[in-house]
Amino acid sequence: MQLIDTHAHLYLEQFDKDRTLAVKRALESGVTHMLLPNVDEATISSMMQLHSSFPGNCIPMMAIHPTSVTKDYARQLDNIERQLENHQFCAIGESGIDLYWDKTFFKEQCIAFEKHIELAVNFDLPLVIHSRNSLNEIFDILNNNRVKNLRGVFHCFPGDVRQAQKVIDLGFMIGVGGVVTFKNSTIAKVVENIGLEHILLETDAPYLAPVPKRGKRNESSYLVYIAEKIANIKKTDVNEVASVTSKNSMDVFKLK
């Protein structure tokens, strides 16, 4: 069984004591690829070091996380663009808008998100979207920046079935992580009502560990619990979930 974790921050300090072991546990559990979304300038070095240690398995992305966008965003974006020109990445990510923690730099987040869309188009890369408390704002910007062949995923999708259909109509995938295993989660209803061909698996490690590991540090080896829950919801075999979602991931991110 092959699984692909399309969103894992394995380079963060939570893994400093056992990073190599965490990756090896994932590989042993059938997770062949772990895609690494960048946070900001401070995380680039550790992310690239992990990629160097596991070049065929830990694949980096490049962007500024919306909660890292400040008044200095223009300089940060220039650096992100230089990184894209000098290194190979699998996606622009993660980018978007976050209105949960702080709305101070909402305007700057919007401008930065539009720049990330431009970079995704220019470098022919998928866009990994963070949309916490901001789905409507994200939809507005995407509709105002309609471009051919823009693709990607709504990471940790927070919306309902109707909003999920909007995502699909825009040509994007639905990212499903550990929240699907939580009691009364809205994403479970979304999974029930959309086809597997629209779903990507992710952990968001070290955050949002699935049941039965909820409350602990998340890691890519726990992706199997997410796949099993989706199989249960869809009344199908976990191998089918793994096969379809892995193909989806390979296609979106052009993985080898």
> Taking the alpha carbons of 50, 54, 57, 62 in that order, is the dihedral positive or negative?
positive
- For 218, phi then psi, to 5°, come to -80, 155
User: In whole angstroms, what separates CA 121 from the centre of its chain?
Assistant: 18
Q: Percentages helix, strand, coil for the chain, rounded to the nearest 5?
A: 50, 15, 40
Alpha helices in 92-210 (DSSP H): 106-122, 135-144, 161-169, 186-193
Task: Assess contact for 225 and 213: CB atoms under 8 A.
Answer: yes
Residue 188 · residue 233 · CB < 8 Å: yes
Provide the 10 A C-beta neighbour count for residue 140: 12
Nearest residue to 142 via CA among 177, 174, 167, 176: 167
What gap in Å lies between CA 167 and CA 200, rounded to an integer?
Answer: 13
Return d(Cα 69, Cα 139) in angstroms, integer: 19
State the sign of the Cα–Cα–Cα–Cα dihedral 43, 6, 126, 166: negative
8 A C-beta contact, residue 76 and residue 64:
yes
pTM of the predicted structure, to 2 decimals: 0.97
pLDDT tens per residue, the chain (256 residues)? Answer: 999 999 999 999 999 999 999 999 999 999 999 999 999 999 999 999 999 999 999 999 999 999 999 999 999 999 999 999 999 999 999 999 999 988 999 999 999 999 999 999 999 999 999 999 999 999 999 998 888 789 999 999 999 999 999 999 999 999 999 999 999 999 999 999 999 999 999 999 999 999 999 999 999 999 999 999 999 999 999 999 999 999 999 999 999 8
pLDDT at 149: 83
**Ordered structural domains, the chain, with CATH:** 3-253 (3.20.20.140)
Residue carrying structure tokens 């999974």: 191
Burial of 82 (0-12, 13-18, 19+ CB in 10 A): exposed
Instruction: Report which DSSP code applies to 129.
Output: E
Distance CA 109, CA 76 (A): 12
Q: What φ, ψ does residue 182 adopt, rounded to 5°?
A: -80, 150
Determine the Cα angle at 50 with ends 45 and 55, to 5°: 120
- What residue type is 42 in one-letter code? A
Closest CA to 174 of 192, 183, 184, 75: 192
